[in-house]
Chain A
Amino acid sequence: MAVLRPARPVPTPSMQTGAAGPGRATGFRRVRSHWPQYLAISPFYLLFSVFGLFPALFSLYLAFHRWDGLGEMQFVGLKNFQYLLGDGTFWLALRNTFIIWFLSTVPMLFVALAIAAMLNSTVRFTAFYRIAYFIPNITSLVAMAIFFGAVFSTNFGLVNVVLQAVHLPAVHWLTNPLGMKIVVATVTTWQWTGYNTIIYLAGLQAIPSEVYEAAKVDGAGPIQTFVRITIPLLRPIILFTVVVSTITGMQTFTEPQVLFGNNGTLTANTGGAGHGALTMVLYFYHQAFDNHDFGYGAAIAWAVFLVVMVFAAINWRLVQRRET
């Protein structure tokens, strides 16, 4: 905190005198006297309001209309939301999203923590390992999806070749509903483990070495140290990664879209055989941009927003309770 203090704006005379006058005049005068600063930060807010705020608000307006993107908008009231509640495909997509989120987040965070702990104790080639683990995160997802599609293909995929070599039956990874979710979760795990590893590693390095030395003096072994010292001290960081992976996991889109979106047979962006990998965001994309049903697509998008909000609230409550 001490480092941050000088960066705060120094109180100016106008601010101090303004505190006594009427509020509106204060605000205006404050803006005027700091116009270079406001001008400097305005590009972000201008771009945000044009490309972020306006579309978000417009999608709320759209959710109460029927619109094919070209013709006239037709007000339909709550009909889109009413239909959504009875739409089995949406509930299926919600379920799929949760399953994929669970299948990817749990192994991803465990593996990331283990790798971070190992990286933290390596002496040689540390930079090399860090880069190596981070590379999947910046690799083109489309290229990865094609690669994984080939690895998991039924007759000639590497995974099934290995399974058959140990006399296990081959799995139809790309058409079986659970198999499809596992493939999507694998791609997500592959891509984001390195990212979480780096975050954990930063957290680990912030733990003072005195704590470890004290534990060593008290006779704690490596496992005990990890469970009793490392994990509790890393808790805020673990909670951060859980919240971030929840929010991104609820919005899984690209992986199923490129893996199952365009095989030339099925309607584009419906999540493959039997909607096995249809996620909520993919479903909204499909309704809006394949079926040209922008009103219903917007309604789904707002339902996704609600789900993420509820989840974020649950997470927040959990954090609050632990801290009191």
Chain B
Amino acid sequence: MELSRRRAIHLGMLGTVGAMIGGTAACSTSTSGGSGGGTNSIDFWYWQDGLSEKVVDDAVKRFTSVSLKPQQIGGDFRQKLTTTMASGAFVPGITGIKGEDFASFTPQADRFVNLLDHGADKLAGQYLSWKWKKGMTKDGKLIGFPIDIGPTAHFYRRDIFAKAGLPTDPDKVGAQMSTWDDYFAAGVELKKAVPTAHMVSEAWSVYNVAVSAAPARYIDENEHFIGDQDHIHTAWNYAIKAIRLGLDAKVQSGSTDWNAGLANGSLPSQTGAAWGAADIQSGAKNTSGNWGVALSPGGSGNIGGSFLAITKECSKPDVAFEIISWILSPENQARGFTDSALFPSTPATYAMPALTAPDPFFGGQVTIQVLGQAAQKIPVQYESPNDQAVSAPYQNELTNVESNGKDPDAAWADAITEAKKIGQRLGVS
């Protein structure tokens, strides 16, 4: 997921270099495997921290009827998978697919095994139903088996909130700031008490979280453009409101200023996916113990979260399915959380000790109480293969309003015109 990509930037891209070296090394070993991993072997592609490495190693030892060959693929995973699948040689039998790429693979569903043919329906009850549906195609084939999810939440600095007379207890924060309007009202109070503090780090963090909690996205299931409708416009208006009220610090997440703002208290509140907590922890180490996690304003949504898939080239799809369902069982997802900070897609895992331990960074809060609740409230959104391309103009126009002072109404109109134009070329009506 996106986590490792950003962490790589933080480490001065050293990680990327390492991953590239790792990637080439992995490629050279795959020559022994052959297409789909030969007759009795299964090549298995994933990326660093995409699964718990220890669980994968255990799977190799456990499933001895085939020779499972896991490889961590570095660099642009989607690109490498697409190229390999297009060439038809050395295609992995089992592969990870990142959440943001998944929709664009659904038109190629016939290149993957329908997991329902291998008894996946028996396991459906163990997984969050919205995530399960996300792994399905429109005609009801299951091609993506749920790895992790990215429930949205509100991360805040208890010490700064206390200074502004705002609640500090997660339940109270969640209750008082349950809507975006209440959240902004608290932001105004915060700014009065602590003039250097901005409630919102950037307009996108409002817009993106609000869209993720909406009942639909930019394109509906009939491939009609619906990005000009209320569910998107409302999210847009919230982001604009944050800018108008002066609550927006205009600091892009992951930047030097963002890290500094988290540490010095000028950015005491973040809305985003649960995996963003790792970025906050690495960006503001010295504030450990001062943070809290509450439910996101405006309802919970999901950002990111990946899948495992079995390709048609896989020599033993039955065994492959056994392997992936074992790797992603509720017990092993607890290990995925501990080893690689993957938020489980199996609700049963939320009660396991790995997740119920108090988190010292968040002042000893048992964060799963909030995040687990958020995970189960996420709406089912249809994501079209063209969703990302069509959503780009909104993001661009929002930053135009934010950094260049463009008139918000003109920006909204321009975003829709541009999105429709892009959509038309891609076959969206």
Contacts A83-B425, A142-B13, A143-B12: A264 and B82 contacting too (C-beta < 8 A)?
A: no
Q: Give complex CA distance A272, B82 in Å.
A: 26
Does B352 touch A at the CB level, under 8 Å? no
Chain A residues within an 8 Å CB radius of B403: 172, 175-177, 273-274
Instruction: Say yes or no for B126: interface residue by CB 8 A criterion.
Output: no
Question: Is A150 part of the contact surface with B, judged by Cβ < 8 Å?
Answer: yes
Per the 8 Å Cβ criterion, residues 244-295 of A in contact with B are 262-267, 270, 272-275, 289-293
The size class of the interface chain A forms with chain B is 35 or more
Q: Whose C-beta in chain A lies nearest to the C-beta of B82?
A: A69
Partner of B388, one of A155, A172, A264, A291: A291
Which chain A positions have C-beta within 8 A of B400?
273-274
In whole angstroms, what is the CA distance A107 to B402 when docked? 31
Within the complex, the shortest CB–CB distance from A171 to chain B, in Å, comes to 12
Q: 8 Å CB contacts to A: which residues of B40-97?
A: 76, 79, 82-83, 85-86
Flag whether B29 is at the interface (Cβ < 8 A): no
Neighbour of B257 across the interface among A140, A153, A272, A291, CB < 8 A: A153
CA distance A86 to B255 in the complex (A): 34
Cα distance, A60 to B13, chains bound together (Å): 34
- Contact: B279 with A264, CB < 8 Å? yes
Q: Which of A270-323 contact B (CB under 8 A)?
A: 270, 272-275, 289-293, 296
A183 within 8 A of B: no
Query: In the assembled complex, which residues on chain B have CB atoms less than 8 Å from the CB atom of A264?
Result: 2, 5-6, 9, 252-254, 279
Q: Which of B9, B79, B108, B418 contacts A88 (CB 8 A)?
A: B418
Segment at the A interface, from B154-162, B168-176, B315-323, B391-399: B391-399
- Looking at chain B's contact residues, the main secondary structure is helix
Known: A71-B108, A267-B388. A155 touches B257 (CB 8 A): yes
User: In the bound complex, how far is the Cα of B252 from the Cα of A284, in angstroms?
Assistant: 24
Q: How far is the CA of A142 from the CA of B399 in the complex (A)?
A: 25
Q: In this assembly, does B389 line the interface, its C-beta being within 8 Å of a C-beta of chain A?
A: yes
Knowing A274-B400, A274-B404, the reply to whether A150 touches B256 (Cβ < 8 A) is yes
User: At the interface, yes or no: B251 with Cβ under 8 Å from chain A?
Assistant: yes
Within A157-182, which residues are at the interface with B (CB < 8 Å)? 157, 172, 174-177
How distant is A298 from chain B, measured CB to nearest CB, in Å? 14
Closest A-chain residue to B389, C-beta based?
A291
- A70 and B85: CB pair below 8 A? yes
Evaluate contact between A177 and B404: CB separation under 8 angstroms: yes
Which residues of B are interface residues toward A (Cβ below 8 A)? 2, 5-6, 9, 12-13, 16, 76, 79, 82-83, 85-86, 104-105, 107-108, 111, 202, 204-205, 250-257, 260-261, 266, 279, 388-389, 391-392, 395-396, 399-400, 402-404, 418, 421, 425-426
A residues within 8 Å of B by Cβ? Answer: 68-71, 79, 83, 86-89, 140, 142-143, 146, 149-150, 153-157, 172, 174-177, 262-267, 270, 272-275, 289-293, 296
- A-B pairs with lowest CB-CB distance, top 4: A264-B254, A175-B403, A273-B399, A153-B256
Can you list 26 A-B pairs, Cβ within 8 angstroms, ordered by A? Answer: A71-B107, A83-B425, A143-B12, A150-B256, A153-B255, A153-B257, A155-B251, A172-B403, A175-B399, A175-B402, A263-B255, A264-B9, A265-B252, A265-B254, A266-B395, A266-B399, A267-B395, A273-B400, A273-B404, A274-B396, A274-B399, A289-B79, A291-B388, A292-B104, A293-B426, A296-B425
